[in-house]
Structure 1
Amino acid sequence: MDPQNYPSMDQYNYSNNGGNNNNSGYRNQAPQQHQQQQPQQGGGYPPQYNQGYQPQQQQQQYNPNQQYSPEQQGIGMQQRGGSGNEFLISSISSNPLAQVGFSYGQSLFNDGKQYVDSNIGKYFSFSSLKSYFNVNTSYVFNKIKLIIFPFPQKTWKRRIYRVGDVDSYLPPRDDINAPDLYIPLMAFVTYYLLYGFQLGMGREFSPDKLGTAISKGIVGWLIEIGIFRLGSFFSNSYSIPIYDMIAYSGYKYVLMVITIISSILTGGYISFFVKIYLVACLGVFILKTLRVVMVSDNSANSHHDMHQQHEGSAMRNYFVFGVAMLQCVILFFFN
């Protein structure tokens, strides 16, 4: 073959590049044809019939970091529960039998309250009970000091304040001479706690024995209040409230606590002399306190004649002396 008939190198490269360009054009046209044919796939229907049906392209994905609070989870339950409660309330309020039952229960409550106020309220005023616990630390300290050492005290009258046209006594926290129930009750509990400790030191403690002693103490206190009430009736001293009687008859437990502490720590003659001194203190405290109370009651009844006033004052003096002696006897022999 003649070499002149062979194609040159430039012609050979040109022919190869042209072939490659044709192949690349074919490869680029194939995806375009596929993309042009894909939107027409709809089951053979025209595009205008497929516009109403749009498949969901994105589905809700689960996020593990997403948390739901209990408030969000219970919103539906609260809404359903609230509607149920409203329906129940509306059904009860519209029921005539339920309304009759409510009115009958309210009438029973009012009758019971009226019965308590008319029968028990004249002896125990629950509204005034709160003032007997109106104390503070300063009052408790000074009151105990007054009971233990009453001799230098000069003023035993209670302080009075006026509200409008009504005179009232100051509460215990503002008047050291005012009776309270906090100190007697705390002293009562403290005494029997120390009594149980004393039984334990002597290896004689038992719950039954301590319970019997507490029961006897409560019954004895009630008997004292009854005697106090009976004596005030016969001496025409009607102005002494029942809570004042409980307080005055309960202050002896402060001194009983001191006597049992002295018997635990010292014993013998020392505790005996301590008891003698405390008996004298209790007698002076009760005499001076109740005498002022009786004098104020006598001045309140000053419209009677002189003969009745003299008889009443004599009875009140006997009454005060009898109460003081009773408290001293209990402190000395039953402690």
Structure 2
Amino acid sequence: MEEFVKRHPLWSLVIAILVAVLLWLVLAPWPAELAAKWGRKQIFLNALFGGITLGALYFLVAAGFTLIFGLMRVVNLAHGSLFLLGGYLGYEVASASGSWFLAFPIVFVAVGLLGLLMQHFIFTQMEGEELRQTLVSIGISIVLADLMLWFWGGQSYSILAPEFLQGPVEVPIVTTINATTGVANYLRYPSVRLWILAAAIVIGLGMWFTLNRTALGMLIRAGVDDREMLAASGVRIRLVFLAVFGFGAGLAGMAGIVGGTFQSLSPGEDTRFLLASLVVVIVGGMGSIVGAAVGALVIGVTEQMGFVYAPTYSVVFTFLVMAVVLAFRPQGLLGARR
């Protein structure tokens, strides 16, 4: 941090000002002029928290994608189909067993196994051939989408969260203060989204620690940088990459359960979340878990803020952020130059 401030004093000042403004918007009472222009403070806070929790969902999808695409250099455009398949399977497991939590390990294993099969029988045969990987993975996504449409139909499905996660919870952030009584009203927000945000943070920290502080992470990074040398040292790098691909696919499947819990599952969601994953990886930086988290947060907040304050142009804002990042930092916010 200190090195960044010394090297980029102007950017450090801009970031500090933006953080101070955001903290004031969140914590301080709003004057009447600001409320008249932006609406009540609660609207802003709901949009902000909605963007953060949407970013958590985007991170769960994009984290697996950044492992597969950013680290392993495998162009798997069927990643969105794995997300939607995981959501449908999670709906079936949760409906049959009555347990929302049981759906997560079952879906992780099932979708992870499908990812293992894809990597072993398809992508391993075309290593380094990005165009072939792109075309084949698009074909796989079309086949999976048609199979899911045939089996589950075109209607929407929602996964019911456990009873103790249903309903709102009071967040200790003041939205308004009654002028007569002086009593503060606090923000009320769906508890399931806050739990999902906490789970995404835990998973992100676990992935970062594994990649940067363990022997397995060292093998993965070494295999990406110089696969031939690592294989010559006796490491079965294909098995390592197979496990990474399976983990990324399983994580996408679990993200499908999350998506079906506080949104819905329907045909087309696979394409939407694949596109979101691509944007998140581009903005955050390929192969960076922290970059995926930052990119997901930026895209989630931008999308929700745009939806609340400029719904006609909300989609434009997302791609505008991506265009600005590509113009000034093509490797992404936290990506390394190659």
| Shared fold, TM over 0.5 | no
- TM-score of the superposed pair, with normalisation by structure 1: 0.21
Structure with the bigger RCO (C-alpha within 8 Å, sep 6+) is 2
Q: Over alpha carbons, which structure has the higher Rg? A: 1
- TM-score of the superposed pair, with normalisation by structure 2: 0.21
